Amino acid sequence: MRRGLALGEKPLASGENVSSTNGWRGWRITVAPDDPGLFPPHVIVQVKALACELPASRGLPLSRMSVADVAREVRSAGIVANISDKTVWRWLHEDAIRPWQHRCWIFPRDRQFLAKAGQILDLYEGHWKGVPLRDDEFVLSTDEKTSIQARRRPHSTLPPAPNKPMRTEHEYQRLGAWAYLAAWDVRRAKIFGRCEHKTGIVPFGRLMEQVMTQEPYRSARRVFWTMDNGSSHRGQTCIDRITRQWPTVVPVHTPVHASWLNQVEIYFSILQRKALTPNDFQNLEALEDRLNHFAEYYETIAQPFEWRFTRSDLEALMNRIDRARSEDQVLAKAA
């Protein structure tokens, strides 16, 4: 059936009466079963506003709403007498409203977030407190990749073939795990790593000794070590302990919840993707061998990461976060 327009007053699909009060006087709609009909603009606004509410605020036992949930609630609330899911989806799509999606978010809680993060970004650009770094000064990014399991499959992994990808048995036997400690030289694209049975102050000290006892770090004027706030290297106690043993080391902590500033995390993602997936090892020794040999292999092709996020970008990001925080507070009060 096709849509037809005729004179007279007839209820719209929205439940509204066509009259002079709603600006739709003189029209009625003959609607096909699959035709959404015509809806006054304020109905569309109401539907979009409902989709932007948390389900709990409407007493719904849902964590998030699908298109069908929104359409059902619109009808239940009496906003419209009848409406299709397709129509609701089209309206939400116009403003990119997707109540069925969610993402995690952490607002910075460190009052010195900008100062702490800014000095790391300055190091990546080759500066420390406004002074360019010298050739005998180095920047290392360090962290731990914990609990890397060795998983033995009951059937051998099969190589790729025409029209077939590599195939790995789904079931596996756990054979233990390594904690992998690593330090990445930001400007020289060098990686130093070691396997330990667990993380901690002592294993981290062994990584530092592994790096600082070899050139050019042993003779360096200063070596900046950027690190997060994990228990192996947290706070002023860590700084005092490190600088007593290694006077040329300058520990630089990231703000809390800012491990994305640590460039070694990029190396860990490459390691996971290219050397550890799929995970199929006969024993822990084979896993350790893979970790060590991948570091050697990667150094032959590595280039310094092209880090483009600057202090100016950080300041702009913090301004956006402040605005988002203010908006969220307004929404929370309104709810």
- For 29-39, the pLDDT digits (tens) are 334 343 445 89
- Whole-model pTM? 0.78
Res 17: pLDDT:
45
Could you read off the pLDDT of 180-207 as tens digits, one per residue?
A: 999 999 999 999 999 999 999 999 999 9
The pair of three-digit structure tokens given for residue 62, joined into one six-digit string: 């849902």
Res 106: pLDDT:
77
Q: Which amino acid is at 203?
A: P
142 and 56 in a common domain: no
**What are the DSSP E strand ranges found in the chain?**
4-6, 28-30, 127-128, 131-132, 137-152, 173-185, 190-196, 222-227, 249-253
Mean pLDDT of 147-154: 95
- Which segment of 4-13, 120-129, 203-212, 262-271 scores lowest on mean pLDDT? 4-13
Which residue, 63, 35, 29, 65, is CA-closest to 47?
A: 65
Place of tokens 């300055």: 122
Residue 94, classed as helix, strand or coil, is helix
Could you read off the pLDDT of 125-141 as tens digits, one per residue?
A: 999 999 999 999 999 99
The pair of three-digit structure tokens given for residue 54, joined into one six-digit string: 């948390």
**Assigned domain for 282 exists:** yes
Mean pLDDT of 223-242: 93
pLDDT at 257 over 90: no
**Assigned domain for 333 exists:** no
Mean pLDDT of 213-240: 95
**Assigned domain for 330 exists:** no
247 and 170 in a common domain: yes
Could you read off the pLDDT of 43-86 as tens digits, one per residue?
A: 999 999 999 999 999 999 999 999 999 999 999 999 999 999 99
290 and 235 in a common domain: yes
301 and 180 in a common domain: yes
CA separation for the pair 221, 133 (Å, rounded): 10
Beta-strand pair 249-253/131-132: unpaired
**Assigned domain for 109 exists:** no
Mean pLDDT of 112-125: 94
Res 331: pLDDT:
66
245 and 196 in a common domain: yes
The pair of three-digit structure tokens given for residue 293, joined into one six-digit string: 């040999």
pLDDT at 252 over 70: yes
Place of tokens 């403003």: 95
pLDDT at 21 over 80: no
Long-range pairs of 94-99 with CB within 8 A, sequence gap ≥ 24: 95/48, 97/48, 97/51, 97/52, 99/51, 99/52, 99/64, 99/65, 99/66, 99/69, 99/70
Res 27: pLDDT:
38
Name the residue with higher pLDDT: 110 or 302: 302
| Number of structural domains found in the chain | 2
Place of tokens 């900046």: 224
265 and 202 in a common domain: yes
- 187 in Cβ contact with 223 (< 8 Å): no
* Percent residues over pLDDT 70 in the chain: 87
Res 110: pLDDT:
83
Here the CATH number for the domain that contains residue 187 is 3.30.420.10
**Assigned domain for 72 exists:** yes
294 and 176 in a common domain: yes
* Percent residues over pLDDT 90 in the chain: 76
Beta-strand pair 4-6/28-30: antiparallel
* Residue 198 DSSP symbol: S
Res 302: pLDDT:
96
**Assigned domain for 191 exists:** yes
Q: Which amino acid is at 239?
A: I
- Which segment of 2-16, 39-53, 153-167, 171-185 scores lowest on mean pLDDT? 2-16
Preceding peptide of 216 cis, ω within 30°:
yes
Mean pLDDT of 297-324: 91
173 and 83 in a common domain: no
**Assigned domain for 315 exists:** no
51 and 142 in a common domain: no
Query: At 335, is the pLDDT very low, low, confident or very high (cuts 50, 70, 90)?
Result: low
279 and 134 in a common domain: yes
220 and 79 in a common domain: no
219 and 264 in a common domain: yes
Going from the C-alpha of 306 to that of each of 223, 263, 310, the distances in angstroms are: 21, 10, 12
Query: How long a stretch of residues is the chain?
Result: 335
Query: At 42, is the pLDDT very low, low, confident or very high (cuts 50, 70, 90)?
Result: very high
Average pLDDT in the chain: 88
pLDDT at 301 over 50: yes
Which residue, 257, 205, 228, is CA-closest to 145?
A: 228
Instruction: Give the residue numbers spanning the domain of 264.
Output: 116-157+166-307
